[in-house]
Amino acid sequence: MIVAVLGTGRRGRDIAQRCVRAGHEVRLRGTDATDVMDRVDEIRRALNRDVSAGIDGTTGLESAVSGSDIVIDATDGGTESHRDVVAETETMIEDETLIAVSDTSLSVTAVATGLRSPDRAVGLNPVDPPDGAIVEVVIAEQTTVATRDRVTDFVESLDASPIVVRDTPGFAALRLELATIAEAVRMVEDGVAGVRDIDRTFERGESDRDGPLVRADKHGLETVLAAFSDLADRLDERFEPPALLRQKVEDGQLGAVTGEGFYVWEDGEPTTGADPDPDVPTRDSEPDLK
């Protein structure tokens, strides 16, 4: 397949890399030529092989999307910006070309209203990119069965599992991720268990998935706080950010990027739990005189 990826940010780079690895012909489009070629070079280095035949970079929209089987809009911006991008794209592609929007912060249904043929629109959100085994396929109000089936086939071609979800704020993966992080943070607030022990409850069996507090630190606590606030506005108070999370962001403890969040980080690895790190008391514990 010919895949046009619009946007050279992290989402665009990760999606393009995944598609190249799967053997698709990828055209990566950005507005700055140097930035585009830097991302192409990053992808080639990440795959550790010559993929010059598998990916090209361009600053031209038409050269990127013309003749493509699917266009993935991974640009930055709000609903209006994405709506303009897909509307312009539609004038340059064939009737059967799919249009996917990759952005967990907006409604695919709202973006699709800018299309003459909104039935071709769908959301496409990799979970735990670039190598995550799950990709959300977001069904907008206008999406047809044929579009859904073609996109799920495309996701399977990436050696990933398609998870079909309704177009609702946060979709599925983000809502579950934030709900888990929120409960873990509140457990720290309530002194239920220590930071590392809370995370260990998620490190069972053969799974190599990090616990929620490590993941929050890796995401960046400022980013996590913004995601909570967005969903609280668009859904309800279930996603009101925990007070401890707000406090850490206010104190500049933003996670791995600053060296301290819910963990103290050294050389990119979590070492010990950062304050507060509850110590579950026993009967003969020394009383807390603070």
Return d(Cα 89, Cα 71) in angstroms, integer.
8
List the one residue out of 36, 102, 43, 44 whose CA is nearest residue 71: 102
Fold match between domain 2-166 and domain 173-273: no
CB-based contacts of 235: which residues, under 8 Å, 6+ apart? 169, 170
Confidence (pTM): 0.86
Q: Given this model, what pLDDT does residue 207 score?
A: 58
Return d(Cα 9, Cα 251) in angstroms, integer.
28
Q: Given this model, what pLDDT does residue 282 score?
A: 84
The architecture (CATH level 2) of 2-166 comes to 3-Layer(aba) Sandwich (3.40)
Q: Given this model, what pLDDT does residue 290 score?
A: 44
- Tens-digit pLDDT string for the chain (290 aa): 999 999 999 999 999 999 999 999 999 999 999 999 999 999 988 887 655 558 999 999 999 999 999 999 999 999 999 999 999 999 999 999 999 999 988 899 999 999 999 999 999 999 877 667 899 999 999 999 999 999 999 999 999 999 999 999 999 999 999 999 999 999 999 999 999 999 998 876 555 678 999 999 999 999 999 999 999 999 989 999 999 999 999 999 999 999 999 999 999 999 999 999 998 888 876 655 44
The architecture (CATH level 2) of 173-273 comes to Orthogonal Bundle (1.10)
Burial class (CB in 10 A: 0-12, 13-18, 19+), 287: exposed
Give the pair of three-digit tokens for residue 276: 């507060």
CB-based contacts of 267: which residues, under 8 Å, 6+ apart? none
**Annotated domain spans of the chain:** 2-166, 173-273
Instruction: Tell me how many helices (H) and strands (E) the chain has.
Output: 11, 10
For 98-144, where are the alpha helices, taking DSSP H only?
A: 108-112
